[in-house]
Amino acid sequence: MTGRQRVLAAFDHVEPDRVPFFEQAFASDVASALLGRPAATGTTLLHYEEAAAWMRGEAAHAQWVEQCYDDVIAIARHTQQDMICPPWRRPQRPTRQTDTYDFLYGDPAGLWDLWRYNPDSKTFYLVQTNRRSSAEPDDLAAHVAQVEQAAASASVPALDPQDWHLRLQRDCPDLLVPAPGALVIPLQPVWLMACRLRPDLVARWLDAMCDLAIRSATAWAAAGFTIVWGGGDFADNHGPTYGPQVFRELVLPRVQRYVAALHRLGMRYVYRTDGNLECIADEFFRQSGIDGYGEIDYDAGMRIPDLQPRYGDTVTFWGDVPCGSLLHRGSAAEVADFVGRRLQQCRGRGGWILGSSNSIVPGTPPANVMAMVAALHAG
């Protein structure tokens, strides 16, 4: 079977020739070690690498972009993945580099953000900004109105032939390429306050975002895409960040509408979020209509062997190998043992795609990644 066939079999809940494997993000340092050469492939380390490439000029950046594209394919092939997707990249070009690891985005005389790379943690993060953020839920009204206006006037978008999703679909026809499609309440404090104080604004925003997502999905479906890799973080180790009631009253109806539209288009929806969802499990896995669940947070108490007997007849699960603990700090033997046990527990049911609980994070031992791959093929 091809990788694409394996993944589609998993969504059909048919046992493929082997369990499919996929990583949605692969840290550049780990990919470099595995490929034996510098490689730019993912996580916020990639954002720093792209900022540095911009500082070398437009031609150097264009060359970096093409190398990054090739590297993403190379690491997927090297680790024998069955799916492939573009990495998360920052859309902005930095205005200037202010220090060895500091980059300023925006107008130095106007609104700007300062981002910094930490070479120890290999992360790129915002350290300073002069932009005024909304402080009260009522402040969101103007933004919500703008999104509503955009949704009301939007048509089915024309996809850029050079979009990486389309390029990967053309260049890697044996692998499944998912389409994007997030739908989630932002987790900034003002939005969390609005969930309680101005739920009407949150509902209007979600409705408008759902409308835009459906139009976008229409274009992806016409281009031959069948899986939408979406969702968005909304939980932590204790449950939904904004509480179960907000999920049931505000989020669930919009997810249901979006998923129903995707199903009419012949598409399936994977909702990805970290955290523990047990308190809303029936609503999330049954009532929402989702076809897949990803970023399964083992360390938050979400485990595929516990979920499969309850929801595995309709939901395909991706992930579960703990990326921040086992993969990052465990031994290769421990990783292989974990994957071997998962194969024994979940084999024969279909509906499962092996992968980390989120991504291959910076500093992950390359031997641990390959132990996961080897255990899959040995099983």
Q: Are the C-beta atoms of residues 294 and 319 closer than 8 Å to each other? A: yes
Other residues' Cβ atoms within 10 Å of the Cβ of residue 379:
16
Lookup: tokens for 125: 């993060």
User: What is the overall mean pLDDT for the chain?
Assistant: 96
Structure-token match 């048919």, residue found: 14
Question: Model-level pTM?
Answer: 0.96
For residue 133, what pLDDT is reported?
81
Q: Per DSSP, what are the bridge partners of residue 179? A: 228
CA gap 137, 189 in Å, rounded = 9
Closest CA to 202 of 165, 236, 252, 152: 252
Structure-token match 């009204």, residue found: 141
Residue 170 dihedral angles phi and psi, to the nearest 5°: -75, -40
Which domains, from first to last, does the chain contain? 3-25+135-378 (3.20.20.210), 27-78+85-131 (no CATH)
- Report the SS3 class of residue 114: strand
Other residues' Cβ atoms within 10 Å of the Cβ of residue 127:
10
For the segment 114-129, what is each residue's pLDDT rounded down to a tens digit? 999 999 999 999 999 9
The alpha carbon of 117 is separated from its chain's Cα centroid by a whole number of angstroms, namely 22
Q: Give the H/E segment covering residue 168.
A: helix 164-171
For the segment 16-71, what is each residue's pLDDT rounded down to a tens digit? 999 999 999 999 999 999 999 999 999 999 999 999 999 999 999 999 999 999 99
Low-confidence ranges of the chain (pLDDT < 50): none
For residue 132, what pLDDT is reported?
85
Lookup: tokens for 287: 């009532």
For residue 379, what pLDDT is reported?
81
